[in-house]
Amino acid sequence: METIKVAVQKSGRLNEDSLQILKDCGISIDNGQDQLRASARNFPMEVFYLRNGDIPQYLIDGVVDIAILGENVLIEKGTDIPVVEKLGFSKCRVSIAVPKNVDYNVVSDLEGKRIATSYPNTVQRYLQDKGVQAELHIINGSVEIAPNIGLADAVCDIVSSGSTLFKNNLKEVEIILHSEAVLAVSPKAGPEQRKILEQLRFRLRSVLEARNNRYVLMNAPNDRLEAIIALLPGMRSPTVLPLAERDWSSIHTVINKDRFWEVLDQVKREGAEGILVCPIEKMIL
């Protein structure tokens, strides 16, 4: 039986989130401790646990068919590898930072400076686009210490909360790109693997849609139904059911998680009561 080979990060937060989304897709993986390769029990899939920075080359060589990895790594090392889904977790940005006491105004202030980074290709493309020349020092690991020991004038690294920069007395001055976990596919993936990939993408979309929406139930007086329904951005239209109490109805709908507080404030002002907000496990459009 044909299987699809998927690479995930060997350890860390991206590893945990990658395995969780596969689990949410109903895929059970038999992975023991320190195991570098595992099979799924109920889906034609093999999982390879690899270093994040090595994954693009495995995709290029066709050793694995697909991978879940940070978009920033893909941009740095595998620009010709297509992304088929953005997965919405492990969000970060690749940014340039300088010591807090440095007077920085525009990107041309980096002219002739020394920049320590683990993303030389990304930084070089950015500086070339801005017409700036700088000296890059490639460091694998914690680059934030470089200015403190006199190795560099600035650093470029991934930033999530910014706490690491703060602890190292640095300030973020340029955002080069925004990144999140993505599903990428090898150019060498065969037709059978691409069929399995489409099955996986169907499951992923249902999980991602569910994560991005909330199921909302509320009670409303019938004379306010029209005004309340007009405020609801449902999938097609809200479901309205009569309550045992006369002249009242129950409204059921789905609201995007980024909007539901705003919408709930509005419907509450229009007379909605007993509002329940529930997570959605899967959502198929």
Which residue in this structure is represented by tokens 């920069």? 165
The stretch 26-55 carries a mean pLDDT of 88
User: Quick one: residue 76, left, alpha or beta (phi over 0 = left, psi -120 to 50 = alpha)?
Assistant: alpha
202 vs 162, higher pLDDT: 202
Which residues share a beta bridge with 85?
A: 183
Would you identify the CATH topology of the domain 92-179? D-Maltodextrin-Binding Protein; domain 2 (3.40.190)
Q: What local confidence, expressed as pLDDT, does residue 33 receive? A: 61
What is the value of pTM for the model shown?
0.86
Long-range CB contacts for residues 109-115, cutoff 8 Å, separation at least 24: 110/134, 110/153, 110/154, 110/174, 113/152, 113/153, 113/154, 114/151, 114/152, 114/153, 114/154, 115/152, 115/153, 115/154, 115/155, 115/156
Alpha-carbon distance of 153 to 131, in angstroms, equals 18
Location of each CATH 3.30.70.120 domain in the chain: 213-279
13-24 and 191-211 are packed helices; what angle lies between their axes, rounded to 10 degrees? Answer: 90
For 142-156, the pLDDT digits (tens) are: 888 888 888 899 999
For residue 242, count other CB atoms closer than 10 A to its CB: 11
The stretch 210-217 carries a mean pLDDT of 93
Q: What local confidence, expressed as pLDDT, does residue 36 receive? A: 87
Alpha-carbon distance of 69 to 140, in angstroms, equals 18
Tell me which architecture the domain covering 213-279 has in CATH: 2-Layer Sandwich (3.30)
Location of each CATH 3.40.190.10 domain in the chain: 4-89+181-210, 92-179
The stretch 47-63 carries a mean pLDDT of 93
Q: What local confidence, expressed as pLDDT, does residue 78 receive? A: 67
For 88-110, the pLDDT digits (tens) are: 999 999 999 999 999 999 999 99
Pick the CATH number of 4-89+181-210 from 3.30.465.10, 3.40.190.10, 3.30.110.60, 3.40.50.1370: 3.40.190.10
Q: What local confidence, expressed as pLDDT, does residue 235 receive? A: 64
Q: What local confidence, expressed as pLDDT, does residue 32 receive? A: 61
The stretch 231-239 carries a mean pLDDT of 79
Residue 234: pLDDT over 70:
no
